[in-house]
A and B are shown apart, each in its own frame.
Chain A
């Protein structure tokens, strides 16, 4: 037999990491200053406090179905911490609370959205983000076009879009990588491989050994990073951002992490999740890991931790109060912002709906 005509079988790669599971940095320089790590930790803790609060409110019927970030805090924060909110854009899915808050989306709006109030969708004027995306993968082509457009107009802003291992099975993902590669669009495809799409394990999404290696087929660079390692995620994403800003085109980042919570508050993962695997990942908790790193630097202790928790809780409480005190939407909320120039037929309906609701009171 002569040599195989088929492409070589690529070597499996290990995710890039900087910290050991117990938070010890390798022999190199840290990619983040201590101040930057402390700021990142604050966003991670803020997320955890918010998730706990929102979950308990959901159980009491005061919050809608929502998806917590639990287990993925370093992945989201590490990526977001590389962005310049004044010119970079986030095109989110729905599990990126700290990235959106850091970018300027108000916590109370995030809460209102999940409380079912259309006002929650309001994105303040200078906040560079698209609405959260519920329809999986639909945001990826939009991020590609946004990045392409920014480049075409000579700006140096970049776009990061978040999605998961499940969404990467949709055609939208593949079509976007292909286009972004051709256009050298300044977009970072940040794929959070958290092991699960509701109950469907990662193995059912692809036979490839990694999601990162899919980039090769589109002429795009791919990289696999330990998503529970804040420093590694930050380092890899910062490189991708710098490359995109300098005109080097897109990058696919596979952030290998684990959804240690439920898919959302309507889900019951005990029906399908492997308890041992879950416990293994709980041992790699990203928040504990970065705290251990800070301890090894001699700049973390119980007092600081308590202070941080109190300050996060206070911030979340204020936001939740604003959300709770926001009046329930009236029927006008069905009609407002549907069109720039509403058709008369819809305006007539708006009047009818308002009359009917005032009659009912």
Chain B
């Protein structure tokens, strides 16, 4: 997946000289995960900039760069450090168009790895997507495959709206699938049916999609047919795509790495019960982390929902009735 992101950045920079990449350690090092490896050598220090260690000014100056006519792609080294920039993202990035009543477009992409499962040091691994989906004006995408990583990033960079582009820490390097060499886009706001099924709709995004697919495989051996939806984009949300699946299955499980309370799963439950109430045959379930802080690496496997847990809870759901 890293290679797909890097290839996309290179192609976009090649095609459009207004694209600049800024962030911590993105230049000589090529980013701590190497997403920008080689870009500074290709495009120069003016366009691939090692910034001072200050997320607030990285994002805030990104707004200014965009106002000047450039198209900045910002790398936040970890979403856990997004808080230092939250006043710029939440109050400023997301609202500039509205506050200027359409005068200022903000073609800005903020890329950031998030989520856990790779034994990072403390405070690096939280799945904070719900803070940002609760931020009107900001689009939020979270690809699960290398193909989507490339296509969604291209679409995000093409968009005149600011986009938070979330990259799964787990699977960053492991996720490998076919990626075309040429440029393409994957539209924002269209989910992907990762696996077709008939009995239960299992909704996930980012790293959790892989867990969902493996659980679905095990469940199929128990005779339970699970449809896995990879949302790809949390805002805009593909409500029609979800409704189509729920109309078929009548049972819904939502899987996310973030804590339960206030997680994006709650928003999905509310939307689904409103849009698909008469299709539902059982209460919607959420499979998530507990309502506790992200722990140290030694116990993170107990925190993040794993395949066994998804299998058990979805098997129960398949038997449940309203």
Contact = CB atoms under 8 A, between A and B. Distances in A.
A285 B291 CA distance: 47
Interface in B259-309: 260-261, 290-293, 295-300, 302-303, 308-309
A275 to B, nearest CB: 14
Given A135-B81, A349-B290, A350-B290, A200 B24 contact: yes
Contacts of A357: 302
Given A199-B28, A200-B25, A349-B260, A328 B298 contact: yes
A264 B124 CA distance: 14
B17 interface: no
Nearest to A350: B290
Contacts of A128: none
B10 interface: no
Contact of A197 (B53, B56, B297, B302): B53
A134 B295 contact: no
Contacts of A172: 84
Given A200-B50, A334-B303, A345-B291, A170 B84 contact: yes
A117 interface: yes
B302 A331 contact: yes
A206 B57 CA distance: 13
Contact of B299 (A167, A331, A346): A331
B122 A134 contact: yes
B117 interface: no
Contacts of B51: 200, 204
B309 to A, nearest CB: 7
A110 interface: no
B292 A346 contact: yes
A171 interface: yes
Contact of A116 (B25, B81, B296): B296
Interface string B38-72: 00000000000011111111000000000000000
A325 B57 CA distance: 45
Contacts of A343: 291
B123 A64 contact: no
Interface string A110-133: 000101111011000000000000
Interface string A326-361: 001111011100100001011001100100110010
Given A197-B53, A204-B52, A334-B292, A116 B123 contact: no
Interface in B77-134: 80-81, 83-84, 119-124
B197 to A, nearest CB: 24
Nearest to A136: B53
A179 interface: no
A183 B80 CA distance: 31
A166 B25 CA distance: 11
Nearest to A360: B308
A329 B302 CA distance: 10
A210 interface: no
Nearest to B24: A200
A355 B12 CA distance: 50
A335 B293 CA distance: 8
Contacts of B30: 271
Interface in A86-119: 94, 113, 115-118
